[in-house]
Amino acid sequence: MVAFPPRRQPSRKGSMADVPKDLLEQIKELERLFTVDQAKLKEVTERFVKELAKGLSVEGGNIPMNPTWVMGYPDGNETGTFLALDMGGTNLRVCEIILIEEKGEFDIIQSKYRMPEELKTGESEELWEYIADCLQQFIEYHHDVEDLQQIDKLPLGFTFSFPVTQDYIDNGVLQRWTKGFDIAGVEGKDVAPLFEAALEKRKLPVKLSALINDTTGTLIASHYTDDTMQIGCIFGTGCNAAYMENCGSVPKIAEYNLPPDMPIAINCEYGAFDNEHVVLPRTPYDVIIDEDSPRPGQQAFEKMIAGLYLGELFRLVLVDLHDNKHVKLFENQDIGKLREAYSLDASFLSMIEEDPFENLSETGELFQRELKLKANKPELELCRRLAELIGTRAARLSACGVAAICKKKNIQSCHVGADGSVFNRYPHFKARGAQALREILDWPKGKRDPIDIQAAEDGSGVGAALIAALTIKRVKAGNHAGIRNTEGML
């Protein structure tokens, strides 16, 4: 996860009056490279709509558009006690969520456990054993019973935020590891039995009701508290969106013969948009990031907007300018630390953009502290402008995915629930994204935006519990579509 500092007051605008000609020329060139105008936003969005539709087709496309088997929204009247397990790249979070009688209300208790680095590249069994150990500790602590067998089996929603193929809501075949995980022998396998075996070994009073992605959870949790929410998004280390589609518009599940108007949540995994590099305005620096990444040619959209890559883009530009003999940047200084790949993350840009001082003194201190570089005022002005350009481009492109879903579904007005460190903590991200939506969708000036991106509810905790509740509710109603272990749900 990208770590951001606390939010600050709005920053100053800056002045280029004292920037020498060579740096001014470079700033103009950077503005040309990183600026995404209205025409390009619209072009990207139109291509996006086509790729979303292609992903739902039998043939498939770059964007996986994974059916989640979450068949509809909660109505706010769900009740009961549920566990939620959230497996992220840094922490493992265990929650107990009580859905209470008041519509759209809930109580939550939770604990976090560190995800040991050695587990991420260790043995498969060690991972599931550790997760089961954490669950056991949580249940024993919060339920205060001598014998766990005294507890009725608790339904669990498991937020497993890695790309999976799901033929059922209670299973998931791992397509590939992300977020620094690389455990042999799991890709291509159903992770549900591996997890359930570890639960059974400890005789834990837990039944897996749903395996979900955090983005789908964000959609469901946000709609639970605000029924105008129709899209869930993540803008953090990665990027993604989920929305509710009609089964009749998903040709790749036609064999199930589901009612065409029955809703089904789609986990887009749209970081893979434009992997063919047809429309995204990639710079030479974006090309380097892709070619040097563990998986070149994949996640093209994500590599231009996600927090994991913003700092690296910034670093690559500065190294390139320093090495250009026609540009005087950090002259006669050792830029060894700046040459270290991925040594800067999005929080570095965030701090630059939030520097409130006219002389950019805090940015100067940041460069001295983190990179051992003494930057003069013109150099700081260039760095400030570069951070603004990269941050603005990310926000503007991120709006294309939201606009594409709205266009595909003909959504004229809704709330969008967004989560993730970049959305929540990067300065001006929300405002820049909103401006891009206005330009793409041609809204009249002076009126309230009909589509508004807002902070989401807790998708990986509350969302997972709600999806477990919805799945059990469906089984009781006799709707078994996309549920493997129907008997075990009750």
Confirm whether 361 is a catalytic residue. no
Contact between 253 and 264 under an 8 Å Cβ cutoff? The reply is yes
User: CA of 134: how far to CAs of 128, 204, 208, 236, in Å?
Assistant: 10, 11, 15, 26
Active-site option among 11, 161, 222, 350: 161
In the residue annotation, 190 being an active-site residue is answered as: no
CA separation for the pair 280, 273 (Å, rounded) = 9
Residues 6+ apart with CB under 8 A from 283: 33, 34
Are 239 and 218 contacting, i.e. CB atoms less than 8 angstroms apart?
Answer: no
Other C-beta atoms closer than 10 Å to the C-beta of 101 total 7
Catalytic residue from among 176, 202, 282, 438: 176
111 is catalytic: no
- CA torsion sign for 27, 28, 32, 33 is negative
Choosing from 214, 274, 345, 419, the catalytic residue is 214
Per-residue 3-state assignment (H helix, E strand, C coil) for the chain:
CCCCCCCCCCCCCCCCCCCCHHHHHHHHHHHHHHCCCHHHHHHHHHHHHHHHHHHHCCCCCCCCCEECCCCCCCCCCCCEEEEEEEECCCEEEEEEEEECCCCCCEEEEEEEEECCHHHHHCCHHHHHHHHHHHHHHHHHHHHCCCCHHHCCCEEEEEEECCCEECCCCCCCEECCCCCCCCCCCCCCCEHHHHHHHHHHHCCCCEEEEEEECHHHHHHHHHHHHCCCEEEEEEECCCEEEEEEEEHHHCHHHHHHCCCCCCEEEEECCHHHCCCCCCCCCCCHHHHHHHHCCCCCCCCCCHHHHCHHHHHHHHHHHHHHHHHCCCCCCCCCCCCCCCCCCCCCCHHHHHHHHCCCCCCCHHHHHHHHHHHCCCCCHHHHHHHHHHHHHHHHHHHHHHHHHHHHHHHHHCCCCEEEEEECHHHHHCCCHHHHHHHHHHHHHCCCCCCCCCEEEEECCCHHHHHHHHHHHHHHHHHHHCCCCCCCCHHHHC
Catalogue the active-site residues.
Answer: 161, 176, 214
